[in-house]
């Protein structure tokens, strides 16, 4: 028979004022299986805990129930006390006599009776409790960072500086991301490349960082502390160990008219190319889709030019496997193209640009070397219109959210334009100006007041081309809804920031949840903004939602700290509240019949297929097995299992059944 100790707390007068605590202790003391029952003023105090510890030893208790406050408050306290007395902490349960009883009811017979019932319920539960051990998982102290934009760069450097190894994977031939494309940055107008490129170089030279550019994640298996990542190294067609990065091949390449991704389509590049002059690594790759040799089987001019013989025509994609303990997702974002906007011409007008394209025009390293010129005829635009909120905050376009960065960069664009074209006239159409951030509002005021940018509050209904001009038809809602028509030379759309292409597929590969717009979902919107629902995978930057550079860097450092904290222990200790599939002696092995309906129900992909094999190695059955590293203990599979083959520790079928039955037995 069980020997359970019951400890009823007065909580000063919090409980005893409405509940007859002495009667509770007395009646529970008479229950079958209860060896010891007392009440005391403050169970959580030092003397209170000592009562429990001593009783555990004195009566040889095999279960403890503390009738006190909410277990959400003091469960760890009392479990620790039990453990110190040598009792398995998971044999201690709490009955919530304060929040769920004394505080919500008046002093009465019924209140005391309810308290007795609540304690009884936990006594019946504890009778079915089993000693549990914390789950320990070894940790591989190496991190995988996916995406080499500013988020990935910052996260990699921060993790690497704590002394842990980092593997940084970048899809493009160079790291740098969108930040490398920007001209100047708000609100200080310092040059983006000037602050970014030193970091890029630092990544390349850091002894703890292994950089894979032109590579993509193929698959990720395993769980926190123990991931296995397969990475596809796309064939660069250039041997980087011998290539000196002299660039001669690039100059000789005859295919010169490929729209440059780095210049957002405004400039051109060759088929063998380095995306931009400050690229890291500063060595070329061959774009096989556009290369004459791969297209038609002839050319090879680059090979003839290369003095060190670095061109590798037959190089194939290579897949490597890396073992890592944590993953930081920093895959960034993308912006909608002008073709997304029927009302602004479906992308058919050359002088209607996206904000990103304008960045390239304004950048000293851009196709016009920083001069603002029209892509159509190269003329300097005398009248320019910026449309903030192009697509964003527009449910009809399927993008109801605010892209957050546009208000600021549009102010910056207008300012840069005014600085470069002194006699130019710029107009910004906006819905609201959202300039929340240090020195942000001041920056926007400067654009309006010092640089005389004309801010019009209202939307633009249509842009069309007539006689070489772009006719912008909008409305000024501050002046009684007056219609505004501007004959502009250039229109810049602050197009919505959207999830990067392929993010949905990547999320599915990693089993990370994502929102309806394919941005990765954080584990908790307030308290776990850098964690994902999959333990060991963290988020940094705009892959979670559009954000600016300081926020991205802050989040990346946050993710890095989470990784470092994970790596600070050799083993990961977890609560043993996890699901378990029963195992029995042969010939049954388990009551699980392997229908694997639990597999689709599990939010964490914790259900694995376990093959039961005979001595001769032949397959007898395939049953489910719970990966204890991945299981978070929700118990959805338990309620779903028809044959009751899965149970969850701490809330087993026997425990909850006993609880329910105890409540109404009379």
Partner 1 sequence: MKKLRDRAAELLSQGVVSLVIGYEEGTKRPRPLFCRNSEGAEKLIFDSHCFHNLAVYITKKELVGKERFAVTAPISTLRSIMQLYVENQLSEEKLLVITVDLSGELREFTTFDEIAAYVAQFELKRGEREQEILSKIEGMTREERWKFWMEEMSHCFKCYACRSACPLCYCSKCVVEVNRPQWINPWPAPLANMEWHINRAMHMVGRCTACGACGDACPVGIPVDLITRKMMEDLAPEFGYVPGQPAKQGNALSSWKLDDREQFIR
Partner 2 sequence: MSSNTDFEPKIIAFVCNWCTYAGADLTGTSRLKYATNVKIVRFPCTGRIDFLLLLKSFAQGADGVIVSGCHPNDCHYTSGNFHARRRWIAFRSILDLMGVDIRRIQYSWVSAAEGSKWADLVNNTVADIRALGPYAEYQKVADYLEKEGYNEEA
Partner 3 sequence: MKIGFYPGCSLTGSSREYNESVVALAKALDIELVEIKDWNCCGATAAHVMNEELSLSLPARIMAMAEEQGLTEVVVPCAACYNRLKVTQHELEDENKRTRVIEILKLPYRGDLKIINVLQMLEAYGAENIKTRVTRPFAHKVACYYGCLLVRPHSILKFDRVEDPQSMDTLIKGIGGTTLDWAFKTECCGAGFSVSRTDLVAKLSGNILKDAADRSAEAVIVACPLCQSNLDMRRGAINKTLKNPIDIPVIYITQAIGLALGIGAKELGLKRHFVTVEL
What residues line the site for partner 3 (CB under 8 A)? Answer: 342-343, 346, 348, 396, 462, 464-466, 471
HSE-CB for 435 with a 13 A CA cutoff: 20
> What secondary structure, in 3-state letters, does 343-398 show?
HHCCCCCCCEEEHHHHHHHHCCCCCCCCCCCCCCCCCCCCEEEEEEEECCCEHHHC
Q: How far is the CB of 558 from partner 3 (least distance, A)?
A: 40
Q: Which does 258 bind (CB under 5 to 8 A by kind): partner 3, partner 2, partner 1, none?
A: none
Contact flag: residue 644 with partner 1 (CB under 8 A): yes
Residue 442 half-sphere exposure, CB side, CA atoms within 13 Å? 5
According to the binding rule CB under 8 A, does residue 626 interact with partner 1? no
Question: Residues 340, 341, 342, 348: is their CA dihedral positive or negative?
Answer: negative
Question: Does 635 participate in binding partner 2 (rule CB under 8 A)?
Answer: yes
What, of partner 2, partner 3, partner 1, none, does residue 71 touch, CB below 5 to 8 Å by kind? partner 2
Which residues pair with residue 571 across a beta bridge? 138
From the list partner 3, partner 1, partner 2, none, partner contacted by residue 533 (C-beta under 5 to 8 A by kind): partner 2
Among 42, 103, 240, 313, binds partner 2 (CB under 8 A): 103
Query: Minimum CB separation from partner 1 for residue 197, in Å?
Result: 44
CA distance 594 to 575: 27
- Minimum CB–partner distance for residue 23 and partner 2 (Å): 15
The correct pick among 98, 171, 383, 574 for binding partner 2 (CB under 8 A) is 98
Q: Residue 117: name its binding partner from partner 3, partner 2, partner 1, none (Cβ under 5 to 8 Å by kind).
A: partner 2
> Is residue 366 part of the contact set for partner 2 (CB under 8 A)?
no
Any contact of residue 50 with partner 1 (CB under 8 A)?
A: no
* Strand, helix or coil for residue 72: helix
464 belongs to the binding site for partner 1 (CB under 8 A): no
Question: Cα separations (Å) of 396 from 418, 430, 492, 606?
Answer: 33, 18, 21, 38
Nearest-approach distance from CB 406 to partner 3, in angstroms: 21
Which distant-in-sequence residues (6+ apart) come within 8 Å of 159 by Cβ?
Answer: 143, 145, 166, 208, 328, 560, 563, 564
Among 83, 189, 471, 577, the residue binding partner 2 under the rule CB under 8 A is: 577
Residue of 99, 303, 441, 476 interacting with partner 2 (CB under 8 A): 99
Single out the residue of 484, 606, 614 nearest to residue 534, CA to CA. 606
- The window from 92-100, 151-159, 335-343, 547-555 that contacts partner 2 (CB under 8 A) reads 92-100
Return the residue of 17, 32, 54, 104 that touches partner 2, per CB under 8 A.
Answer: 104
Q: Which two tokens stand for residue 87?
A: 């009792």
Nearer to partner 1, 451 or 599 (CB): 599
Which letter does DSSP use for residue 118 in this model? H
Question: Pick from partner 1, partner 3, partner 2, none: which does 591 bind, CB < 5 to 8 A by kind?
Answer: partner 1
- Give the ranges where 401-453 is alpha helix by DSSP (H): 406-420, 440-449
What is the β-pairing status of strands 460-466 and 469-476? antiparallel
Tell me if 511 contacts partner 2 by CB under 8 A: no
CA distance 108 to 101: 11
| Cis bond upstream, residue 326 (ω within 30) | no
Paired tokens of 86: 């040598």
We find the least distance from the C-beta atom of residue 511 to partner 2, in angstroms, to be 11
Sign of CA dihedral 98, 102, 105, 111: positive
Query: What are 308's strand-pairing partners?
Result: none
533 sits near partner 2 (criterion: CB under 8 A) = yes
Distance from C-alpha of 186 to C-alpha of 405, rounded to nearest angstrom: 10
- DSSP letter for 102, please: I
Among 121, 238, 387, 414, interactor with partner 2 by CB under 8 A:
121
Mark residues 47-86: x for contact with partner 2 by CB under 8 A, - for none: -----------------------xxxx-------------
Is position 114 an interface residue for partner 2 (rule: CB under 8 A)? yes
Nearest residue (CB) to partner 3, 186 versus 349: 349
Report yes or no: 71 and 39 within 8 Å, Cβ to Cβ.
Answer: no
Binds partner 1 by CB under 8 A, chosen from 466, 485, 642, 664: 642
Residue count, binding to partner 1 (CB under 8 A): 22
Minimum Å distance from CB 626 to partner 1?
15
> Least distance from C-beta 397 to partner 2, angstroms?
23
Query: Is 14 or 376 the residue whose CB approaches partner 3 more closely?
Result: 376
Residue 612 binding result from partner 3, partner 1, partner 2, none, given CB thresholds of 5 to 8 Å by partner type: none
Return the number of the residue (70 or 290) whose C-beta is nearest partner 2: 70
The DSSP call for residue 100 is I
Least Å from the CB of residue 195 to partner 2 = 38
Cβ distance 578 to 628 under 8 Å?
yes
Q: Which residues pair with 311 in a beta bridge?
A: 238
Residue of 162, 268, 513, 569 interacting with partner 2 (CB under 8 A): 513
Please say which residue, 41 or 469, places its beta carbon nearer to partner 3. Answer: 469
- State the minimum distance, in angstroms, from the CB of residue 580 to partner 1: 14
654 lines the binding site for partner 1 (CB under 8 A): yes
Q: 263 vs 14, 250, 274, 313, 348, CA distance in Å?
A: 68, 17, 12, 27, 18
Query: What x-and-dash track marks residues 591-610 binding partner 1 by CB under 8 A?
Result: x-xxxxxxxxx---------
Tell me how far apart the alpha carbons of residues 10 and 65 are, in angstroms, rounded to a whole number: 14
CA distances from 436 to 126, 187, 221, 433 (A): 53, 11, 40, 9
**Beta carbon of residue 659, minimum distance to partner 1 (angstroms, whole number):** 11
Q: Of the candidates 470, 448, 427, 426, which has an alpha carbon nearest to the alpha carbon of residue 338?
A: 470
The answer to the question of residue 588 lying near partner 2 (CB under 8 A) is no
Q: How many CB atoms lie within 10 A of CB 43?
A: 27
What string of DSSP letters covers 17-44? TTS-HHHHHHHHHTSTTEEEEEEES-TT
Task: Tally Cβ neighbours within 10 Å of residue 389.
Answer: 24
CA distances to 195, 291, 354, 459, 630 from 444, in Å? 22, 45, 20, 19, 47
Residues contacting residue 260 through CB under 8 Å, at least 6 positions apart = 266, 267, 268, 269, 275, 367
Q: Which is nearer to partner 1, 120 or 360 (CB)?
A: 120
The span of 12-20, 414-422, 492-500, 642-650 binding partner 1 (CB under 8 A) equals 642-650
The C-alpha atoms of residue 99 and residue 90 are separated, in whole angstroms, by 22
Strands (E), 325-419: 326-329, 333-335, 352-354, 383-390
Choices 91-99, 163-171, 424-432, 550-558; region in contact with partner 2 by CB under 8 A: 91-99
Q: Binding segment for partner 2 among 272-280, 329-337, 480-488, 601-609 (CB under 8 A)?
A: 601-609
Which of the choices partner 1, partner 3, partner 2, none does residue 121 contact, using the CB cut-off of 5 to 8 A by kind? Answer: partner 2
Interacting residues toward partner 1 by CB under 8 A: 588, 591, 593-601, 622, 640, 642-645, 653-654, 657-658, 661
Interacting residues toward partner 2 by CB under 8 A: 70-73, 96, 98-100, 103-106, 108, 110-111, 113-114, 117-118, 121, 513, 533, 577, 601, 603-604, 632-636, 638-640, 648, 650-651, 653, 656-657, 659-661, 663-666
């Amino acid at each position: 028979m069980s020997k359970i100790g019951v400890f009823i707390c007065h909580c000063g007068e919090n409980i005893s004022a409405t509940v007859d605590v002495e009667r509770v202790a007395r009646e529970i003391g008479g229950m079958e299986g209860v060896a010891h029952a007392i009440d005391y003023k403050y169970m959580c105090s030092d003397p209170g805990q000592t009562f429990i510890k001593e009783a555990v030893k004195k009566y040889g208790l095999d279960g403890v129930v503390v009738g006190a406050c909410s277990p959400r408050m003091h469960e760890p306290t009392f479990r620790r006390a039990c453990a110190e007395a040598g009792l398995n902490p998971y044999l201690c349960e709490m009955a919530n006599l304060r929040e769920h009883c004394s505080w919500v009811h008046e002093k009465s017979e019924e209140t005391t009776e309810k308290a007795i019932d609540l304690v009884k319920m936990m006594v019946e539960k504890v009778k079915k409790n089993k000693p549990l051990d914390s789950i320990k998982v070894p940790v591989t102290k190496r991190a995988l960072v996916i995406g080499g934009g500013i988020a990935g760069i910052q996260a990699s450097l921060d993790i690497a500086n704590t002394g842990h190894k980092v593997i940084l994977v970048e899809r493009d031939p160079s790291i740098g991301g969108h930040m490398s494309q920007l001209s100047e940055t708000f609100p200080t107008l310092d040059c983006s490349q000037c602050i970014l490129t030193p970091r890029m170089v630092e990544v390349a030279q850091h002894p703890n960082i292994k950089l894979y550019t032109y590579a993509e994640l193929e698959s990720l298996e395993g769980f926190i502390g123990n991931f296995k990542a397969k990475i596809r190294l796309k064939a660069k067609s250039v041997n980087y160990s011998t290539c000196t990065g002299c660039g001669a091949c690039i100059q000789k390449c005859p295919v010169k008219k490929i729209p440059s991704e780095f210049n957002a389509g405004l400039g051109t590049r060759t088929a063998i190319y380095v995306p931009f002059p400050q690229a890291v690594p500063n060595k070329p790759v061959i774009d096989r889709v556009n290369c004459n040799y791969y297209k038609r089987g002839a050319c090879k001019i680059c090979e003839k030019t290369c003095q060190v013989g670095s061109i590798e025509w037959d190089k194939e994609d290579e897949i490597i496997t890396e073992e890592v303990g944590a993953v930081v997702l920093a895959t960034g974002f993308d912006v909608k193209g002008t073709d997304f906007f029927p009302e602004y011409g479906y992308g058919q007008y050359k002088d209607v640009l996206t904000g990103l394209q304008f960045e390239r025009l304004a950048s000293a390293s851009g196709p016009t070397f920083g001069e603002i010129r029209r892509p159509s005829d190269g003329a300097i635009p005398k009248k320019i219109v910026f449309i903030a909120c192009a697509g964003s905050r527009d449910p009809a376009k399927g993008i109801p959210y605010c892209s957050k960065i546009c208000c600021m960069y549009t102010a910056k664009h207008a300012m840069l334009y005014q600085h470069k074209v002194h006699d130019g006239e710029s107009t910004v159409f906006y819905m609201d100006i959202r300039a929340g951030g240090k020195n942000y509002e001041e920056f926007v005021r400067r654009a309006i007041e010092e640089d005389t940018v004309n801010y019009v509050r209202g939307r633009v209904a249509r842009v069309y081309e007539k006689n070489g001009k772009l006719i912008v038809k909008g409305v000024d809602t501050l002046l009684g809804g007056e219609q505004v028509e501007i004959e502009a030379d250039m229109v810049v759309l602050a197009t919505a920031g959207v999830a990067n292409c392929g993010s949905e597929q990547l999320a599915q590969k990693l089993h990370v949840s994502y929102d309806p717009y394919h941005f990765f979902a954080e584990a908790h919107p307030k308290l776990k903004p850098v964690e994902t629902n999959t333990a060991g995978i963290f988020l940094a930057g705009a892959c979670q939602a559009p954000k600016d550079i300081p926020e991205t860097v802050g989040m990346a450092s946050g993710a890095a700290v989470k990784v470092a904290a994970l790596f600070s222990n050799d083993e990961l200790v977890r609560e043993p509240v996890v699901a378990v599939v029963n195992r029995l002696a042969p010939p049954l092995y388990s009551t699980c019949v392997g229908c694997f309906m639990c597999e689709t129900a599990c939010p964490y992909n914790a259900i694995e297929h376990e093959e039961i094999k005979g001595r001769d190695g032949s397959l007898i059955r395939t049953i489910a097995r719970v990966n204890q590293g991945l299981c978070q203990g929700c118990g959805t599979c338990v309620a779903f299992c028809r044959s009751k083959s899965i149970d969850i520790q701490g809330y087993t079928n026997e425990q909850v059944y006993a609880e329910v039955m105890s409540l109404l037995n009379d």
